[in-house]
Amino acid sequence: MRYFLFLFLLMINSAFGQLVNSVDLAEKLDVSTEEAAKKELLHLATLKSIEKFVPELGYKSEDFNEKLNSSFREYFNQYKEKKIIEKFGKSYKDTLSQTELASFTSKLEEERHGVFVRYSHTLELLSSHSFAHIEQDKNDPLSWRAKVNLEIDRIKLDRLLRKIIKGEKKPFSKIIVITEIDPAGFFWPDLGLENEKKFINPLNASWLKWLNDNIPSTVEEVVICDSDCTNYFTKWSAQHPDDVSVPEEYSSSVFLKTNILLKRTSVLDNVQEVTFEWEGRALLHDLATKRILASFALPPEKRTFRQLDQKALNSGIASSLYRSPLTAFMQFNRKLEQKVGFNRVSKLVIKGHRHLGEVYLLIEMLKTRGSSLGFEVELDSISKEEANLLCFYQGEEKSFTDLLSSIKELKSSHGYTLVNEFTGVHHVIKFVSE
């Protein structure tokens, strides 16, 4: 990847942004493999490093530990409640015996440590790490010794401290960058590359730097979608908004997906000339509701490269593609500055309408009366029998239910009233003639 010279320059980190530490550990761990031990030891080494650097950033390590543990206890209680409801339903207290509930809860307690590691976001602070030494005690398999070298991102650590100690919370926790480049008229080995990742990864790194340098005030951080994230995105893409369940590590996040069709349209070997064309689209998705917050069509572009070796050609293509979505990114940033995010989506079914105008009149009334919830509505589908709306809002579902209950009638000039029902799955509003 040496040919991506300009991309490498963008990826250089200044020493100021890194906090370097080396940690010696001697711990008892309930693990059986070195791989599992490394995960535990890396988490512990990161925690010890945070304690060391907290005073340098103007905080007390005691405050960090106390508030982190306190907020996690509250979160884990909510986590257990959510898991119980997912398994047994909202009426579990009426259907489960105390013994059955205690048995299930005890299994959830076994997950506490793993959930804490994810909740603390400690490993996300690391710019790099290495194990200088790791050893398992021959006489005591549970005892491990290690020396871990770490580099912690100063900016990310400061954000975490402000979030935990000061309780600062921004509307969006992450912008998660996903890039797809579809080749046409060539294969990646034609460019001397093993696969698309060899081309996409440096591009992503450059876009990541641009996005972090221009991060909206409403966003905590920008990250690249890794392999686990990609698997989740595939599953998420196929789900209906009603069925979406967002893992804690992606809570309050948005997907920034860029898709580019890259076409090789002409090759003249005798004069070393090759022409590429490309176009695409960038989309900003809210994870919790699957709502498209913004969309931008990348205009068609064309460039001819002459008398370049393979490395210079690849660098030229990458440089051109790097610039293509920057206008979209700027527009998305402005959108995120204006938005406070949604945490709920509910389906509303309209029945008994006489024409489309009545449905749109109802939509406008919902937007007006639901303004305090940041209420927005999309018409999902419509037929003579019913119209299906997707309603996006902030707060609890009860706020949405109260809004619907408050709707008794439209303007007095209309010859009907509205009746709100709940089917147990979706809310239904019926137009009833007076």
Q: What is the CATH number of the domain that holds 418?
A: 3.30.70
The pLDDT assigned to 1 comes to: 45
Given 322, 338, 354, the domain boundary residue is: 338
Rounded to 10 degrees, the C-alpha dihedral 389/394/397/402 comes to: -80
Q: How many CA atoms lie within 13 A of 96 on its CB side?
A: 17
Q: Does residue 71 lie in a domain region?
A: yes
CB atoms < 10 A from the CB of 220, how many?
Answer: 22
Q: Are residues 184 and 305 in the same domain?
A: yes
337-378 pLDDT per residue, tens: 876 555 677 788 888 888 888 888 888 888 887 777 777 888
Residue 287: which domain range? Answer: 172-338
Given 144, 165, 186, the domain boundary residue is: 165
205, 6 in Cβ contact below 8 A? no
Q: Are residues 156 and 217 in the same domain?
A: no
Nearest to 143 by CA among 24, 27, 35: 27
Q: Are residues 25 and 157 in the same domain?
A: yes
The pLDDT assigned to 383 comes to: 85
377-404 pLDDT per residue, tens: 888 888 888 888 888 777 677 778 888 8
Rounded to 10 degrees, the C-alpha dihedral 378/382/388/390 comes to: -10
The pLDDT assigned to 178 comes to: 96
The segments of the chain whose pLDDT lies below 50 read 1-16, 409-410, 412-413
What is the residue type of 245?
S
The pLDDT assigned to 342 comes to: 58
Q: Does residue 3 lie in a domain region?
A: no
Q: Does residue 68 lie in a domain region?
A: yes
Q: The tokens 């080749």 sit on which residue?
A: 183
Interatomic CA distance for residues 139 and 269, integer angstroms:
67
Interatomic CA distance for residues 297 and 293, integer angstroms:
14
Q: Are residues 320 and 249 in the same domain?
A: yes
The pLDDT assigned to 399 comes to: 78
In this structure, what token pair is assigned to residue 421? 């029902």
105 φ/ψ angles, rounded to the nearest 5 degrees:
-65, -40
The pLDDT assigned to 146 comes to: 94
Q: Which helix (H) or strand (E) holds 257?
A: strand 253-268
Q: Are residues 419 and 311 in the same domain?
A: no
Q: Are residues 307 and 176 in the same domain?
A: yes
185 φ/ψ angles, rounded to the nearest 5 degrees:
85, 5
Q: Does residue 2 lie in a domain region?
A: no
Q: Are residues 41 and 138 in the same domain?
A: yes
Q: The tokens 């580099």 sit on which residue?
A: 151
Nearest to 7 by CA among 305, 325, 316, 324: 316
395 φ/ψ angles, rounded to the nearest 5 degrees:
100, -160
The domain total for the chain is 3
Q: Are residues 32 and 158 in the same domain?
A: yes
In the sheet with 253-268, reading across from the earlier edge strand, the strands are: 219-224, 172-184, 253-268, 273-286, 292-306
Q: Are residues 228 and 334 in the same domain?
A: yes
Q: Are residues 118 and 206 in the same domain?
A: no
Interatomic CA distance for residues 128 and 366, integer angstroms:
49
Q: Does residue 4 lie in a domain region?
A: no
Q: Does residue 393 lie in a domain region?
A: yes
Given 124, 150, 165, the domain boundary residue is: 165
Q: Are residues 381 and 275 in the same domain?
A: no
In this structure, what token pair is assigned to residue 275? 């022409």
CATH of the domain at 313: 3.30.160
Q: Does residue 154 lie in a domain region?
A: yes
Nearest to 37 by CA among 26, 52, 50: 26
What is the residue type of 62?
E
3-state secondary structure of 230: helix
DSSP 172: E
The pLDDT assigned to 161 comes to: 87
183 φ/ψ angles, rounded to the nearest 5 degrees:
-80, 145
Interatomic CA distance for residues 50 and 207, integer angstroms:
28
Interatomic CA distance for residues 205 and 137, integer angstroms:
40
Q: Does residue 23 lie in a domain region?
A: yes
The pLDDT assigned to 10 comes to: 36
Q: Are residues 40 and 161 in the same domain?
A: yes
- Whole-model pTM over 0.85: no
Q: The tokens 């919370």 sit on which residue?
A: 169
DSSP 352: S
Q: Which helix (H) or strand (E) holds 294?
A: strand 292-306
The pLDDT assigned to 22 comes to: 93
